[in-house]
Amino acid sequence: MTATASGQAPTALREALHEVWADKPGLVGWLTSVDHKSIGKRYVITAFAFFLLGGLEAAVIRMQLARPENHVVGPDLYDQLFTMHGTTMMFLFAVPVMTAMGLYLVPLMIGSRDVAFPRLNAYGYYVYLIGGLFLYSGFFLGSGPDAGWFAYTPLSGPEFGIGKRMDIWAQTVTFTEIAGIIAAIEIIVTIFKQRAPGMSLNRMPLFVWSMLIMAFMILFAMPWIAVDSQFLAMDRLMQTQFFNQAEGGDALLWQHLFWFFGHPEVYIIFIPALGYVSTIISTFTRREIFGYPAMVAALIVTGFLGFALWVHHMFVTSIPQIGASFFTAASAMIAIPTGVQFFCWIATIWEGRPRFQTPFLFMLGFFLVFIIGGLSGVMVASVPFDSQVHDTFFIVAHLHYVLLGGAVFPLWGAFYYWFPKFSGRMLSETLGRWNFALFFIGVNVAFFPMHLLGLNGMPRRVYTYIAETGWGDLNLLATLGAVTIAASVIVFLVNVARTLAAAPHAPDDPWETSSTLEWAVSSPPPPYNFAELPVVEGRYALWDRSAEQPVVTGLRTDQRELLITTLLDAEPDHRHRTPDPTIWPLLAALATGITFIALVYTPWAMVIGAVLIAAPLIAWGWPKPKPGDPIVTEGTS
């Protein structure tokens, strides 16, 4: 393996790599693909489809609440709708879309050809897809979960949760946790072992840092909810008594486990969004993000602090004051790293000359909306204040300001920014501005009045309210905001449809000032990502590269190989054979899906399912030497 001066990679090399890395043609190719770009794109599209479904549920909720004593839906369907809305947005949209962006972009951004375990990656996607379809099948068949996305026991337990509704919910959560943990492992290993030579840890783009921290948070947070949801499923199916106070269980155990996952979950959604913000701001101001070490430290600190806050969701369950004080202080402390990042971004913008294209507009939206959510977050960290606004519309306002401001605005900017890379075509700038303006106005009109509703005493999760409360006008205003949000989503869909149908092809870097490696390859990237793996010479790979950028050569071109580098300094270490397209991840995911779904109805599914899942796993792992393989795998060269 040697580093040579770069030039245009020879056509022969490109053809050879294409032969080895391209998916098989047709439907078979689609089902057997293990390419991180195909899987990542499907992940993003699936998550976005769930976003639309969750949005439709929210729309019905807003129609019902627009007027006092409205009869758009009854209480039973209303409970299912808000449970589905929360479950969809948190488990099926927000986390998957963030990991999906990482699975697509991280290998490109660090100069690798695929993720670390491509088959596992495909398996994770299919497990997630099956879980989401299962939840929605239940909902459309009249068995939608109805105990809230937080599913507090005993309301969700065997005594009060009717039918199979909450079993379906618990199992859906298990599906998504498996997918989430798989994505986290993919991202961590890919980042640690596959960075291009020269991309030492202190040169990693902030986007990659944020993905790395998100992945670690997933790894530490998601097992708790997986345990929690399995406890619930067992309580319901096998008469275990984890949450039954009368038999020595504990109803609050559920809440502690749930929020020990549930609060980090917020940061799992928020931290990758910070990576988008840093990337987009540096591109559109053409400035390095000010204070790289401070930014990285802030991300890491946020990642740790995110685990020390969960009890602030439970302040009114009678927490001793000294204990509550700790969580108040920890919750308020989050403002420090977040503030430092804000100040660094402002300094970056101040010193640069911003270009007001759609992705950057969404960044301004992020600042304006998120800071309101952040400030109301510091307010609700206070126990005396929280004991008034807890479980009221004030919290609904707060969490939507945080999640829409902190995650969806950056995500939308990221869609506009990376869309040419995903699809090869540029989204319309005009429609993008409409998209932004409607969304910005809609979010504020929909959610700002909810602060006032909460302070006026309107609790959450009520399917109606009486006219005497005087909450009607503000609710109507909030519904008008929701209509505006819906309009902005429609503008986005029109924009995507028109772009895919007609827009001209985008060059490698249509923004012209991007700094990260994915913009060095064609749009969309070839199946092998990089014909010649780049060598990175600075934090901003494309800005810092010399005229004679060295590249890595020496990987085999007749089979799929990745370059593995060392963890800290990204020194070339060895070559790694990576698998060809295969159907087994899909079949293993189907077997897993059948097992989990059957587990809702009988514990015996575990026994039969073990065999059912083992079969495709054996086939998956069966050694398949290619003719011409050396008997001993080559080490470093």
Restricting to residues 117-176, name those near another protein by CB under 8 A.
147-148, 152, 154-155, 159-160
Q: Which stretch binds another protein (CB under 8 A): 9-17, 341-349, 402-410, 498-506?
A: 341-349
Interaction between residue 323 and another protein (CB under 8 A): no
Residue with token string 């869609």: 415
220 interacts with another protein by CB under 8 A: no
Among 344, 478, 506, 542, binds another protein (CB under 8 A): 344
Least separation in angstroms between residue 350's CB and another protein is 4
**Cα–Cα separations (whole angstroms), residue 142 to 53, 90, 162, 345, 361:** 16, 21, 12, 48, 41
Applying CB under 8 A, does 68 fall inside the site for another protein? no
Q: Give the C-alpha separation, 514 to 510, whole Å.
A: 9
User: Which one of the spans 419-427, 462-470, 488-496, 534-542 is the region binding another protein (CB under 8 A)?
Assistant: 462-470
Dihedral angle of Cα 412, 415, 416, 419, to the nearest 10 degrees: -170
Given 3-state DSSP classes, what are the helix, strand and coil percentages for the chain, each rounded to the nearest 5?
65, 5, 30
Residue 388 in the binding site for another protein (CB under 8 A): yes
Question: Does position 246 bind another protein by CB under 8 A?
Answer: yes
Q: Which is nearer to another protein, 272 or 365 (CB)?
A: 365
Residue 328 as a binder of another protein (CB under 8 A): the answer is: yes
Is 392 in a helix, a strand, or coil? strand
**Is residue 340 close enough to count as binding another protein by CB under 8 A?**
yes
* 235 vs 238: CA distance, rounded Å: 6
Name the one range near another protein by CB under 8 A: 54-62, 185-193, 249-257, 270-278: 249-257
Q: Does the footprint of another protein cover residue 86 (CB under 8 A)?
A: no
Selected binder of another protein within 3, 9, 251, 617 (CB under 8 A): 251
CA dist., res. 422 & res. 166, Å (int) = 37
* Span interacting with another protein, options 86-94, 345-353, 519-527, 586-594, rule CB under 8 A: 345-353
Which stretch, 34-42, 95-103, 310-318, 616-624, contacts another protein (CB under 8 A)? 310-318
Residues 463-502 that bind another protein (CB under 8 A): 463-465
CB burial class (10 A; 0-12, 13-18, 19+) of residue 440?
Answer: buried
Cα–Cα distance between 628 and 273 in angstroms, integer? 45
Locate 491 and state its tokens.
């503008």
Secondary structure, 3-state, 62-94: HHHHCCCCCCCCCHHHHHHHHHHHHHHHHHHHH
**Residue from 224, 222, 231, 306 nearest 257 by CA:** 224
459 binds another protein (CB under 8 A): yes
239 binds another protein (CB under 8 A): no
In the complex, what is the shortest distance from the CB of residue 557 to another protein, in angstroms, rounded to a whole number?
A: 40
| CB-side neighbour CA atoms (13 Å) of 5 | 4
One residue of 383, 437, 476, 483 binding another protein per CB under 8 A: 383
Give the one residue of 192, 385, 434, 543 binding another protein; rule: CB under 8 A. Answer: 385
Residue with Cβ nearer another protein (44 or 372): 372
Binding segment for another protein (CB under 8 A), chosen from 264-272, 330-338, 432-440, 493-501, is 330-338
Cα separation values, 526 from 21, 38, 99, 447, 540, Å: 9, 11, 21, 43, 22
Q: The dihedral of CA 76, 82, 85, 88: what is its sign?
A: negative
CA atoms in the 13 A half-sphere facing the CB of 228: 26
Sole residue written with tokens 């899987």: 39
Q: How far is the CB of 277 from another protein (least distance, A)?
A: 12
Q: What would the x/- binding string for another protein be over residues 417 to 456, using CB under 8 A?
A: ----------------------------------------
Region from 137-145, 219-227, 269-277, 376-384 binding another protein, contact rule CB under 8 A = 376-384
Q: Taking the CA of residue 145 as centre, how many other CA atoms within 13 Å lie in the half-sphere pointing to its CB?
A: 28
For 315, the token pair is: 């302040």
For the four alpha carbons of 308, 311, 312 and 313, in that order, the dihedral sign comes to positive
Reading phi first (left if > 0) and then psi (alpha if -120 to 50, else beta), residue 112 is in beta
Sole binder of another protein in the list 25, 26, 293, 384 (CB under 8 A):
384
460 binds another protein (CB under 8 A): yes
The full 3-state SS of 533-560, as one line of letters, equals EECCCCCCHHHHCCCCCEEEECCCCCCC
Between 4 and 387, CB nearer to another protein: 387
**Binding range to another protein, per CB under 8 A, among 256-264, 387-395, 477-485, 578-586:** 387-395
> Of 143, 174, 348, 592, which lies in the binding site for another protein, with binding defined by CB under 8 A?
348
Pick the binder of another protein from 364, 437, 476, 483 (CB under 8 A).
Answer: 364
How far are the Cα atoms of 88, 135, 179, 309 from residue 91, in angstroms, in the given order? 6, 11, 10, 20
Per DSSP, the three-state class of 564 is strand
Give strand pairing partners of 577.
561
Q: Hey, which residues between 269 and 288 contact another protein (CB under 8 A)? A: 286-288
Contact status: 252 vs another protein (CB under 8 A): yes
518-547 residues in contact with another protein (CB under 8 A) are: none
Looking at 45, 346, 568, 608, which residue binds another protein (CB under 8 A)? 346
Residue 382 within binding range of another protein, rule CB under 8 A: yes
Contact flag: residue 76 with another protein (CB under 8 A):
yes
d(CA 621, CA 61): 47
User: Which residues, other chains included, contact 46 with Cβ-Cβ below 8 Å and sequence gap of 6+?
Assistant: 96, 125, 128, 129, 132
Does 207 bind another protein (CB under 8 A)? Our answer is no
The minimum distance between CB 405 and another protein, in angstroms, equals: 12
Q: Which stretch binds another protein (CB under 8 A): 133-141, 331-339, 537-545, 548-556?
A: 331-339
Which range touches another protein (CB under 8 A), out of 378-386, 434-442, 545-553, 591-599?
378-386
Residue 375 beta carbon to another protein: minimum distance, rounded to whole angstroms: 4
| Residue 616 CB, nearest approach to another protein (Å) | 41
- The one-letter code for the residue type at 521 is V
Number of residues that bind another protein (CB under 8 A): 75
Dihedral of alpha carbons 393, 397, 399, 400, sign: positive
